[in-house]
Amino acid sequence: MNSIIDVEFGLEGNVRIYEDEKQRYIKAALSMGTPEEQVKLKENLDAIDWSILKNLAHVKTGQERGVFAPLDAVEVSEIEAKAEEFKEIGLNAIREGKVGAVLLAGGQGTRLGLDKPKGTLNIGLTKDLYLFEQLVHNLQDVTNEAGAYVPFYIMTSTINNEDTIAFFEEHNYFGYPKEYVKFFIQEMAPACDYDGSVYMISKTDIAMSPNGNGGWFSSMVKAGLLDDIRDKGIKWLNVFAVDNCLQRIADPFFVGATIASGMESGAKVVRKAAPDEKIGVLCTEDGRPSIAEYYEMTEEMATLRKENGELVYLFGVILNYLFSVERLIKIADDNMMIHVVEKKIPYMDVDGTLVKPEAPNGYKFETLVLDMVHMMADCLPYEVVRGREFAPIKNLHGIDSLDSARELMQECGIEL
């Protein structure tokens, strides 16, 4: 691995990371450690490709993007008119074993502040109802109707893998057949403070965190799951987030619409609630499908309206995508954009004290599944009704919270 830094982001050029004067947490850890611990730490440091720190340059300048243009969605009214056709195609694909589901559950849920995997959150009010459980129920709605099980892959990280598996075991997979569930672990990346000083978590260990949700397919390949996908004849993978308790999984209408469109991917989208809503918008970039993050849109772009008053960039993504396996295999080794994300990062300070910050204190490096959309030749934006399918839990209270999700679930008639 390359442990040499050769970039200018406040770090000196061409030095080993532990020789860099500005790496104060590493320096402190080295000075505190025994000779054995120092050797261990250097080994750990040498195992990391530090060129990832180059991405800090994007904090100031932003990532370079191409030319965005609007992309029309297949809207709810059109979906309703073709509902039977879409459903039939989707259910048949499920019955033929062509659809798999991938739950992205490797995140740390720092905004929620749980020490356990996010999916273990109890969203019930009068009874226990765990986020993982609700997601399994949502999937079972489909598998019951199809009369066939959907292979269910769950991405975890080294931090939450054991707890996640133990939770599913303890709850007997919430009634889903265990042989259809497979776990795999995603990669990790180092985290640093605002000056680019890499955080340590002990005298030998770097503060590593899950490297975003974009590497899910290559992690599946590394875990040997491509054989499983091929053996089962899976042609489509439906990828979704752990924290949207209302989302439909392996939704036959969505699967059917995407297959019928002839496109190699589909994305569930909702109408933006307001021009400044913090949601990525599905559009095209240099002629290919892409997602413009809310902070990448100019005010003009965000507020631009059609003659009928609707926003031109109207449809926001909700982290529920369908990807063709054939295309995923082709792009599995392609480099993905690395995003520098501000987060709360627990660390060991230079005096050896462990700090659990209350507010963001630095950067993590993440690839994002939304960037995969741009690696597809085309993508069907598929509109869903927000109140029925979008209840993300990012915080305990306020916007996108446990409170708001509970309200939305009750409005959908789900007993809590």
50, 52, 54, 60: CA torsion to nearest 10: -140
- Across 112-254, where does the E strand assignment appear? 152-156, 181-185, 188-192, 208-210, 236-241
In the bound state with ligand UTP, the residue whose beta carbon lies nearer, of 15 and 294, is: 294
Say how far residue 366 (Cα) sits from the centre of its chain: 9
242 binds ligand UTP, rule: CB under 6 A: yes
Q: Which stretch binds ligand UTP (CB under 6 A): 240-248, 288-296, 320-328, 371-379?
A: 240-248
Gyration radius from the chain CA atoms: 22
Select the residue interacting with ligand UTP from 11, 105, 283, 336 (CB under 6 A): 105
110 binds ligand UTP, rule: CB under 6 A: yes
243 binds ligand UTP, rule: CB under 6 A: yes
In the bound state with ligand UTP, the residue whose beta carbon lies nearer, of 28 and 341, is: 341
Q: Which stretch binds ligand UTP (CB under 6 A): 120-128, 224-232, 235-243, 301-309?
A: 235-243
Please choose, from the candidates 292, 290, 291, 295, the residue with its C-alpha nearest in 3D space to the C-alpha of residue 278: 295
Q: Which of residues 170-189 bind ligand UTP (CB under 6 A)?
A: 186
In the bound state with ligand UTP, the residue whose beta carbon lies nearer, of 197 and 219, is: 219
Report helix, strand or coil for 256. helix
Dist. CA 386–CA 267, nearest whole Å: 14
258 binds ligand UTP, rule: CB under 6 A: no
Please choose, from the candidates 174, 183, 186, 170, the residue with its C-alpha nearest in 3D space to the C-alpha of residue 138: 174
Please choose, from the candidates 357, 340, 367, 320, the residue with its C-alpha nearest in 3D space to the C-alpha of residue 219: 367
90 binds ligand UTP, rule: CB under 6 A: no
Select the residue interacting with ligand UTP from 29, 56, 201, 241 (CB under 6 A): 241
Please choose, from the candidates 255, 250, 234, the residue with its C-alpha nearest in 3D space to the C-alpha of residue 90: 255
CA atoms within 13 A on the CB side of 341: 22
Q: Hey, how many other C-beta atoms are within 10 angstroms of the C-beta on 259?
A: 22
Q: Which stretch binds ligand UTP (CB under 6 A): 165-173, 236-244, 330-338, 396-404?
A: 236-244
Q: Which of residues 114-133 bind ligand UTP (CB under 6 A)?
A: 118
- Name the phi and psi angles at 58, rounded to 5: -75, -15
CB of 336 to ligand UTP, least distance (A): 12
CB of 109 to ligand UTP, least distance (A): 4
Question: Would you give the binding string for ligand UTP spanning residues 198-227, x where CB under 6 A is met?
Answer: ------------xxxx--------------
| Cβ(322)–Cβ(236) below 8 Å | yes
Q: Report how many residues bind ligand UTP under the rule CB under 6 A.
A: 22
CB of 390 to ligand UTP, least distance (A): 13
Please choose, from the candidates 322, 320, 324, the residue with its C-alpha nearest in 3D space to the C-alpha of residue 390: 320
Question: Would you give the binding string for ligand UTP spanning residues 131-160, x where CB under 6 A is met?
Answer: ------------------------x-----
CB of 103 to ligand UTP, least distance (A): 7
Report helix, strand or coil for 396. coil
CB of 309 to ligand UTP, least distance (A): 32
Rule CB under 6 A: which residues touch ligand UTP? 104-112, 118, 155, 186, 210-213, 241-243, 343, 366, 394
